[in-house]
Structure 1
């Protein structure tokens, strides 16, 4: 399937007027300095905006653009809502709810308020925001047959988890997410009013199991993650849902790599590729090839790793497709660079890994705070092992700054390993400062 083209942002192009992209980029940087922001805007970035590749700017650029064009909204500048960009399927119109609004619809409205509070607040709002994950209510209020409203509520719970995880990591969310998952499967067990609704419930419950599994995975609860991923895979097999099956296998491959089972990682990635062949999503095939490459790297099979990386780059170059799953909205060039970095690190080529990790951190939009922290932590570890302790300490310091708002056991574990690697260099002022800050944190 051919990649679907981006819709050009003609509104933003009109605002540039007679200025060249480079001249306009300089205006953006100047406006950023005036309000205390730092953006690395250049002609290429302006081109990406005008082509429609960047459908919504990160928060720093948003503040700059609204400063440059007072009185206008992001929509006036030709951008899409951030929630729509985070999940492609969120753009599809959901069927109208049945007559007689249920308690689910009211809870959905309450969750919208909590989401807005979360996105505009700091770490103090995390606990309140996670209450939105109880959107589905409890199992005592399961209807005799699930309808469109219930299916929509399951799908919304998945999106909430992804949005919150992007901003703050998994640790604060995992236990809160257990109740929606339990309720989703109770709805599935109750049955649906029509087959199309039951199909949505199967897909939604399975995706919710993967999402909760990821929260367990990222917070270091590997056995819990394995159980949730297996539940998602079973749901996919029962429903004959190839897309869900590919997603479950992708995450199982990732988990196996993190658990030190590289051969299992390879086999899970290959199983995911078989499931994904008929879906028409080159980006999904690229991600699964990267998962496989990570497994081969863990087995120290450089040739097989390089072959898988080559497939990943070839599929990625085919571009986005309308068939790309919603959950893959995280997978852009930054994630590709990060996963390739992990391959080279596993093969012992830390300087090469550091180059890819640096690109990943530079390419990642800052409003995905968890991924910025992850990629920078990867960079710090690679630099420490590549014999660049001062640079590693600088990157580690950036991660410590980000960990004031991101809660991820995985990232903290990576940073702790970097700190241990840097102990022999603690006489360096920069390294010493980082180690002291890390110990205090």
Structure 2
């Protein structure tokens, strides 16, 4: 006798836009939250449920399904062992049921029309989350062009608040609610990063604490990684390498960093930059070697979050190595990484290009090449030089170093005239 298909599960999957593979993925994630171990389901597992070949999944899997859907397993069409599927209603009984359903629906609609304000609450779905993510992409793009600006921080924070407001605007499945919390955490994390990039560290820490809470509520490993990794970078910029290593270790010890070599590579590269700031050359070199190896092992086709795809690549790896070797005083190696970074930077990464160009000028000046260093520093766009907090600070330090090493040189005079023109247009 052929097993009866699970029509209830199929209908729920269609309503929520799930394929067999995508449902397996979210249930695996829910299993990890429940048990501490990532589930081993795949598309064939879900197809077994839909076909009726598996009528009552294991207890942990059922709990995960209930978390994802917000419904009991029986409402999803699963049948406990020892029970049979309910018999279909006889035709006459079925017709009567349809009539009652229709009459009940008309009555409900009439009542809603007569009594405004008592209509059913709005249904929040995946499309609502996707609309927020589309607007988030615009903020990420602005960050790559003009990082560190207060307006970027404010827009990201406002979008996080909007995601939380949506939580209370209607009904939603557990999966959608978790996605909303994850989105709010990602937006708040971007507000944090904009504050870090603008050297507004007190504000950044406040964003960090809120983002961490939201990430825990979402159970999303990727956004937890992002927030703790950002925290490590923040503490590095604040001159607190011990705190930076501790925060970055939280990110690196998450399951996602052990499962996906790209997350492992990012965590290791940021660890290398922290070791550089702490003047631990051997540890920094080892971390960057391991990061490069992890990148080579990764699957480029694996699904990863938008925020990671937007910036993490070989150019960012070289940027972090550049920062580390500048801190270590290894200026020739720093210059090498600067050139490699600039050669592979994506065109839209204007903020990163300005930072890398400024660091390259520092590396060249430290090696005594004042003319080349000055020519490099003059390539930094005026808006980045005057409006980006980190770039402005590094260029002031470049000016001081140039005056100290070659105060009467043609390069120093040229640089003074150039910065005067910057200030005039600012």
Any residues of structure 2 matched to 1:69-80 within 5 Å, and which? none
Alignment equivalent of 1:295, drawn from 244, 260, 274: 274
Quote the RMSD (CA, aligned, Å). Answer: 2.2
What are the Cα deviations for residues 265-294 of structure 1, in whole angstroms up to 9, with x where unaligned? 111111101114467321221111011112
1:250 matched to which residue of 2?
229
Residue 198 of structure 1 deviates from its aligned partner by 0.8
1:423 matched to which residue of 2?
403
Any residues of structure 2 matched to 1:186-225 within 5 Å, and which? 186-188=165-167, 192-225=171-204
- Describe the shift of the 1:239–1:367 C-alpha distance in structure 2 as closer, same or farther (beyond 3 A): closer
What are the Cα deviations for residues 94-118 of structure 1, in whole angstroms up to 9, with x where unaligned? xxxxxxxxxxxxxxxxxxxxxxxxx
Q: Give the secondary structure class of the aligned counterpart of 1:173.
A: helix
Any residues of structure 2 matched to 1:268-283 within 5 Å, and which? 268-277=247-256, 280-283=259-262
1:280, 1:323 within 8 Å by CA — same for their partners in 2?
A: no
Q: After alignment, is 393-402 or 213-222 more displaced?
A: 393-402
1:203, 1:236 within 8 Å by CA — same for their partners in 2?
A: yes
Alignment equivalent of 1:438, drawn from 405, 419, 423: 419
- Describe the shift of the 1:190–1:274 C-alpha distance in structure 2 as closer, same or farther (beyond 3 A): farther
1:230, 1:248 within 8 Å by CA — same for their partners in 2?
A: no
Which ranges of structure 1 fall in alignment gaps of 5 or more residues? 1-142
Any residues of structure 2 matched to 1:226-237 within 5 Å, and which? 226-237=205-216
Q: Answer 1 or 2: higher relative contact order, Cα 8 Å, separation at least 6.
A: 1
Alignment equivalent of 1:414, drawn from 394, 402, 411: 394
TM-score (norm 2): 0.65
In our comparison, the structure showing a higher alpha carbon Rg is 2
What are the Cα deviations for residues 323-382 of structure 1, in whole angstroms up to 9, with x where unaligned? 433212211111111101111111121222122112212221333211211111111122
Residue 407 of structure 1 deviates from its aligned partner by 4.3
1:181, 1:209 within 8 Å by CA — same for their partners in 2?
A: yes
Residue 144 of structure 1 deviates from its aligned partner by 6.5
- Describe the shift of the 1:195–1:440 C-alpha distance in structure 2 as closer, same or farther (beyond 3 A): same
Any residues of structure 2 matched to 1:95-110 within 5 Å, and which? none
- Describe the shift of the 1:438–1:270 C-alpha distance in structure 2 as closer, same or farther (beyond 3 A): same
2:331, 2:363 within 8 Å by CA — same for their partners in 1?
A: yes
Residue 178 of structure 1 deviates from its aligned partner by 3.4
C-alpha distance in 2 between matches for 1:388 and 1:276 = 46
Corresponding pairs, count: 298
1:128 matched to which residue of 2?
none
1:68 matched to which residue of 2?
none
Residue 440 of structure 1 deviates from its aligned partner by 3.8
Which ranges of structure 2 fall in alignment gaps of 5 or more residues? 1-120
Is it true that 1:349 corresponds to 2:326 in the alignment? no
2:371 matched to which residue of 1?
390
What are the Cα deviations for residues 69-109 of structure 1, in whole angstroms up to 9, with x where unaligned? xxxxxxxxxxxxxxxxxxxxxxxxxxxxxxxxxxxxxxxxx
